[in-house]
Amino acid sequence: MSRQSFLSGLYPRNTGCTDFGTAMPSEVLTIPGHLSRYGYQTVGAGKMHFVGPDQMHGWHERIGRDIRGRNGYEPADNPVHSAKTFQEAGTGKWPTAKEISNARAGKGYWMQHDKYSVDGALMFLDEYFVNEPYDRPGNRPLLLAVSLWCPHYPYQCPEDLFNYYMRRVEPYVEDLPAKFDCHDFFKVRVGKDVTYRESHRATAAYYGMIEWADREYARVISKLEALNVLNDFVVVFLSDHGEMLGQKGLWEKQQYFEASARVPFFISWPQRFPQDNGVIQEDVSLVDLFPTLCDIANVPIPDGLDGHSLVPLMEGRTAGWANEVYCELYSHQHGPSAMVKQDDLKYFRFDGKGWPEQLFDLAVDPEEMYNLIDDPSYAADLRRLRAKVDTFLALPLLNFPRGARTAHRP
C-alpha cells in the first residue's frame, strides 16, 4: 500500500490499494509513467509490490522478480522464493511470537532477493553507461529505482552484524503508564509470549538488516562513482514504513506510533543544495515524492495528486505549508482507520474496533506514553483533529487523475 502511494503521489484510498492483495488500476499515473512522457528512461529494480497482471505501471524495464510472484507471476523454481528457502529462513507471514523466537544470524530469503536486485541494477548501469547495447540518445535522462525488501522479518542478518548489535542494542521493554491502553494487534509480551533473550536477538537482527541494506545501497553509489556519473544524479533514499520492535508491547509495521509511521526520507542534490545535513522541520509525507521529483526534473506536476513538492521547503520557503499529514490503514485487523498529525499533535482511531482513540502531544511526550484524549486542556485540539479525520475518511475512493497508461519501451 505504501509503495503504491509514494509511486503515485496518492493516499491508499485513491490508488485502490487498501490491502496487500489489491491491484492498483493501470490508469493510475505513476512517477515512472509520468517521467517517461518527458523523455526519461525508467528502470525499476527489485520489490515493487505490484499485484495482478500489470507488473510495469509505467516502468520501461523491470530488473528481477517481484515478491508477489509467489501468487503466480514468476517461475516456481525461483531460488529466492522456493519452499526450501522459506522453511530455512522463516515463515514470512508474521505468526506473532514465532518470528521473534526465530531471530538469529543467517541469510534470510529477502536478503537473497535484495542482493539479486542490486546485482541486476549494477549490471544495467554498466550496460547503460559503458556497453550501450541498444541505441539511446546520449542526453536521455534516466530514472533508476533500486527497491529492497530489507529490513523486514524474518529477523535474520549476517553473523558479523548480528554479533555486533547483540553487544550494542537492548530490546525495547518500556515501563508503560498504568492507564496506558491501545489496540492489541501484533502484541507480543516479553516474559510471557517470548523471552527477553529472544526479544534482544530480534532487535539486534533488525538493526543488522538495516546496516546490511546500507551496504547494498552503497554498492549502487560506488558504481555511480566508478562510472563518473554520480554528480549527474539526484539521489533519493526512503522507506515505505518503520518497525515496532516492542515499543508499547507491539511489533511489526502498520501502526500509527512514531516507530512505525515515521520513516527516513533523504534527498541529495549537491548541485542545487550544496549544504550538508539540511533538515526540513515541517511535516511531510511519502506522497510528496511524486511532485517533488517532477519539480526537480522540471516537468509539470500532474493535477489531482495528494502530495506537494518539497522543493520550496528545501529552499527554506515554508510560507503556506499546511504542516499536516495523514495516514490510513485498512488491511488485516485495521480498517477503516486514519491518523492526522498537525504540528506536534497526533490523533488516530480505528473505527468499529472498540479500541480507544489516541491523542499525543509529541512536543512534551515524544515517546507517546500519555493519551490526552480525556485531557480537558486539549479538548479544542481533539475536536479539530477528530473533524479532520472524519472528513478524510468520508472522501470518495479511487479519486485519481485519469488517462494514465503503462509506458512502453521506445
Residue 47's nearest CA partner among 285, 327, 239 is 239
What SS3 state is found at 222?
A: helix
Q: Is the pLDDT confidence value at 36 over 90? A: yes
In the predicted model, what is the mean pLDDT of residues 66-88?
Answer: 42
With DSSP H G I counted as helix, E B as strand and the rest as coil, what are the percentages for the chain, rounded to 5?
35, 15, 50
Q: pLDDT digits over 3-34, tens only?
A: 888 888 999 888 887 776 777 888 899 999 99
Distance CA 325, CA 307 (A): 10
The residues, ordered by sequence, that sit 6+ positions from 17 with a Cβ below 8 Å of its Cβ are 1, 4, 5, 23, 24, 51
CB 12 within 8 A of CB 1: yes
Please give the share of the chain, as a percent, with pLDDT higher than 70.
Answer: 85
Residue with grid cell 490526552, as numbered in its chain:
372
For residue 278, what pLDDT is reported?
85
Q: pLDDT digits over 286-338, tens only?
A: 999 999 999 999 999 999 999 999 999 999 999 999 999 999 887 655 567 89
State the helix-helix crossing angle for 109-126 and 196-226, rounded to 10 degrees: 10
Say how many C-beta atoms besides its own lie within 10 A of residue 77's C-beta. Answer: 7
DSSP state letter for 140? -
The residues, ordered by sequence, that sit 6+ positions from 301 with a Cβ below 8 Å of its Cβ are 290, 291, 294, 295, 309
Residue 180's nearest CA partner among 109, 121, 80, 257 is 257
**CATH 3.30.9.10 corresponds to the domain 2-393:** no
CB 243 within 8 A of CB 146: no
CB 154 within 8 A of CB 190: no
| One-letter amino acid for residue 47 of the chain | K
Residue 103 parent element (H or E): none
Does pTM surpass 0.95?
no
Please give the share of the chain, as a percent, with pLDDT higher than 90.
Answer: 53
Q: pLDDT digits over 175-215, tens only?
A: 777 677 777 777 888 888 899 999 999 999 999 999 999 99
What does the domain layout of the chain look like in residue ranges?
2-393
Residue 132 binned pLDDT confidence (cut-offs 50, 70, 90): low
Residue 145's nearest CA partner among 289, 310, 39 is 289
Q: Is the pLDDT confidence value at 275 over 80? A: no
Between vectors from CA 13 to CA 42 and to CA 357, what angle results, nearest 5°? 130
The residues, ordered by sequence, that sit 6+ positions from 234 with a Cβ below 8 Å of its Cβ are 267, 268, 269, 296
Higher pLDDT: 41 or 56? It is 41
Q: pLDDT digits over 222-233, tens only?
A: 999 999 999 999
Residue 41 parent element (H or E): strand 41-46
Average pLDDT, the chain: 84
Distance CA 11, CA 303 (A): 14
Q: Is the pLDDT confidence value at 68 over 60? A: no
| One-letter amino acid for residue 235 of the chain | V
Residue 64 binned pLDDT confidence (cut-offs 50, 70, 90): confident
Query: Going by DSSP bridges, is the β-strand pair 156-157/104-105 parallel, antiparallel, or unpaired?
Result: parallel
What SS3 state is found at 324?
A: strand
Is residue 356 packed enough to be buried (19+ CB in 10 Å), middle (13-18) or exposed (0-12)?
middle
| Torsional class of 30: left (φ above 0), alpha (ψ -120 to 50), beta (otherwise) | beta
